[in-house]
A and B are shown apart, each in its own frame.
Chain A
Amino acid sequence: MDDSELGFDTINLGHGSGGKMTRDLLDKLIFKTFSNPFIDQKHDGSVVKIDGEIAISTDSFVVSPIFFKGGNIGELAINGTVNDVAMCGAIPKYLSLAFIIEEGLKIVEFREIIQSIKAAADRSRVLIITGDTKVVERGKGDKIFINTTGFGEVHAKAKISTGRIGIGDKIIVNGYIAQHGMAIMSEREGLAFESDIVSDTTNVNFLVKDLLDTFGDKIHFFRDPTRGGVASVLSEIATDTNKGIAIFEDQIPLEKQVAAACEILGLDPLYVANEGVFITIVEAEIADHVILLMRKDEKGRNAVCIGEVTVDHPAKVVMHSSIGGKRIVSALIGEQLPRIC
């Protein structure tokens, strides 16, 4: 079907009215794309089965620009929530999907977003089982906002909690950091610079499942360092556990172009947002095996141990700089601001 069959080129307030226009939009675009036994009921909600404990996570996506190198807001909305559910030590199964659309969004753009959502959901093997579409007046949104809530089955062997993080545990990251944030930054107004940096937004649920299948409760913690970056996540963990965290500047995996872009813009990659990146904290004895397993997977190709949990400096993250110095790494305060010179 091409867009002319829809009979309109842009989303307008009528599409959020709950009347015929809403139904048309849902039938022709949303129900059709996401068809599955649950959503096909076209009911207000869905009844599903999940075995054992359930992990639930919700997230709203407001990224601007909505299309960027390496992805778009739709893909992000799926991967983000799928990963958040996986970080609970669970296998994501179902998602809800809600749009808040600013009137004037082009149908071609909306269709592209929907298709990315479908592709990302398929890749993660999750079903979209319920949703909502609202349209707001021009100026009251920013093209499109998406909220997704994910539901997953907690892995039988998983015991993930900050309480299980112990002294001597190793901190492992699955790959290059700061790529997503710098890809977005490179396309923002006023900061535009040419680069081939591509967002690494992706789902990591299968890699997480492999890790849990193999190492079970020797994996103590998972977390994806999205906004606020690696520094903010580690800083929160240190505070929550009242244990020290030591990280090593030399070990932080950073792709060359990303490192250069951060250097030019005066940004610290430790605070730059990530997608498709996760940190796991594991018992020291399995750390090398975890890294080996991760490196066999495309999504863990550059996995590396970046630090460890220490008795020293409780509640603080200390970075060992490449020249042999030390410094405290604190959580991000507000937005990271580019420097004057």
Chain B
Amino acid sequence: MKYLTEYRNLADTKKYLSLIEKTVTRPWNIMEICGGQTHGLVRNGILDLLPEKVRMIHGPGCPVCVTPLNLIDKAIELLENGVIVCSFGDMIRVPGSKKSLLEAKSNGGDLRILYSPIEAVKIAKENPTKEVVFFAVGFETTAPANALSVLHAEHEGLGNYSILVSHVLVPPAMEAILDDELCNIDAFLGAGHVCAIMGFEEYYPLAKKYKIPIVITGFEPVDLVHGIYLAVCQLEKGVHEVKNQYTRVVKPEGNKVAKEVIRKIFEVGNREWRGIGEIPNSGYQIREAYKKYDAETKFGISHMKAPENSDCIAGEILRGIKKPNQCSQFGKKCTPYNPLGAPMVSSEGACAAYYHFSNN
């Protein structure tokens, strides 16, 4: 497959691995932001191929993992009250405070698994007597499509469509991680697909303020080892720049059309991150002009709260302070069969990646 096979080849992977080996002189901690990158590293067995001095720390970039418990409870509440809830697939098995969406579905809830929020608008049109809510989860990557669904609903004049928003933003999360006194990150691999939408201009001030190299990186094995190599080069030279490894997809300014759609529907606001807590200006919320498409306002459920499971150390995992196998519950009380926290469920979650693919 074009654009895939050439980034999954042995020769190029080996070339970058050997360059990393030759360049690295002392230990470095590099955080890959995105859960897709964590999965790529573990799935392809890259962690074991890297020199010991290069230690990868898995970041908070799994949208499923950072969606707060109370949002899942809210989606379940809607489902149990006759609303058709539409969701991306990997959200449905994540445990809420009492159950998951999947369990609520087996109790009779009308839950639809979709690939695109535009499908949810179609469902709203076909079911005029029912309320339809799309569970709008994700980073900047999924925001344009979710925003576009609101514009489609407006265009169709649909009064029965709304979105339950839990959009989070990458740069504020990076800043929160760097501000943490336990932070030991020396460089970041930036999330390639987030930057495909947003560009990477907002990373320059971050790199400068925290003196930290940021390499915008793709997801295939060659991308990952190339990105790591570019980070190690900077670390060894003592420089801290923003570099773009994922040039075939990411432009400095991002996708202007997508950004405009986001800006029309959403504005930046404070957001709670599961396991991390509230981070100022770290997410999107629906603008006043489009509030009637905001499920929390529409159904009066914004007050719902939910406590986290105290056995789960997802917060430390997501901030890169601990690795999944350092959790006392890992593979014991917490497995994908019976997950205590989201990182064990999502295909992008660090705990699930370790459980499925790794010897550790």
Contact = CB atoms under 8 A, between A and B. Distances in A.
Contacts of B348: 339-340
Contact of B45 (A321, A337, A340): A321
Contacts of B8: 322-323
A336 to B, nearest CB: 8
Contacts of A48: none
B113 interface: yes
Interface residues of A, number: 27
A259 B348 CA distance: 20
Given A190-B113, A324-B14, A328-B356, A340 B49 contact: no
B10 A324 contact: yes
A339 B89 contact: yes
B14 A337 contact: no
A337 B48 CA distance: 27
Given A263-B1, A333-B337, A339-B347, A325 B93 contact: no
Interface stretch (B134-142, B178-186, B226-234, B235-243): B134-142
A172 B31 CA distance: 40
Interface residues of B, number: 48
B142 A340 contact: yes
Contact of B1 (A259, A322, A341): A259
Contact of B13 (A263, A324, A329, A338): A324
Given A337-B347, A339-B347, A263 B44 contact: no
A260 B5 CA distance: 11
B9 A190 contact: no
A337 B138 contact: no
A21 interface: no
A263 B48 contact: no
Contacts of B346: 339-340
A19 interface: no
A260 B1 contact: yes
B10 A338 contact: no
A64 to B, nearest CB: 14
Nearest to B193: A341
Contact of A330 (B44, B193, B221, B355): B355
Interface in B51-71: 63-64
A266 B45 contact: no
A338 B90 contact: yes
A256 interface: yes
Given A266-B347, A337-B89, A190 B4 contact: no
Given A323-B44, A324-B13, A338 B88 contact: yes
Contacts of B36: 339, 341
B115 A322 contact: no
A254 to B, nearest CB: 10
Contact of B115 (A191, A260, A325, A334): A191
B357 interface: yes
B148 interface: no
A93 to B, nearest CB: 39
A333 B93 CA distance: 11
B249 to A, nearest CB: 13
B162 to A, nearest CB: 18
Contacts of A323: 8-10, 13-14, 44-46, 49, 221-222
A140 interface: no
B9 A322 contact: yes
Interface in B222-278: 222
B43 interface: yes
Interface string B9-44: 110011000000000000000000000100000111
B292 interface: no
Interface in A98-146: none
A340 B48 contact: no
Interface in A302-341: 313, 321-330, 333-334, 337-341
A341 B89 contact: no
B124 to A, nearest CB: 13
B222 to A, nearest CB: 8
B310 interface: no
Contacts of B359: 313, 326, 328
A265 interface: yes
* Max chain A Cβ within 10 angstroms of own Cβ: one of B112, B193, B221, B357: B357
A341 B13 contact: no
A37 to B, nearest CB: 46
Contacts of B139: 341
Nearest to A328: B357
Interface string A162-201: 0000000000000000000000000001110000000000
A191 B10 CA distance: 33
B358 A328 contact: yes
A249 to B, nearest CB: 9
Contact of B356 (A322, A324, A325, A330): A330
B113 A337 contact: yes
Contacts of A339: 36, 88-90, 346-348
A249 B221 CA distance: 14
Contacts of B347: 266, 337, 339
Nearest to A326: B45
Contacts of B1: 256, 259-260, 263
A340 B88 contact: yes
| Top 8 A-B pairs, shortest CB-CB distance | A325-B45, A338-B89, A337-B89, A323-B13, A327-B357, A340-B88, A326-B45, A323-B221
Given A313-B359, A323-B45, 18 more contacts: A190-B112, A191-B114, A191-B115, A263-B4, A266-B347, A321-B44, A321-B221, A322-B8, A323-B14, A323-B44, A324-B49, A325-B48, A325-B49, A326-B48, A333-B336, A334-B336, A337-B89, A337-B113
19 contacts: A191-B115, A256-B1, A321-B43, A321-B45, A321-B221, A323-B222, A324-B49, A327-B43, A327-B45, A330-B356, A333-B336, A334-B93, A337-B90, A337-B93, A338-B89, A338-B115, A339-B88, A339-B347, A341-B63
Interface of B: 1, 4, 8-10, 13-14, 36, 42-46, 48-49, 63-64, 86, 88-93, 102, 112-115, 119, 137-139, 141-142, 193, 221-222, 336-337, 346-348, 355-359
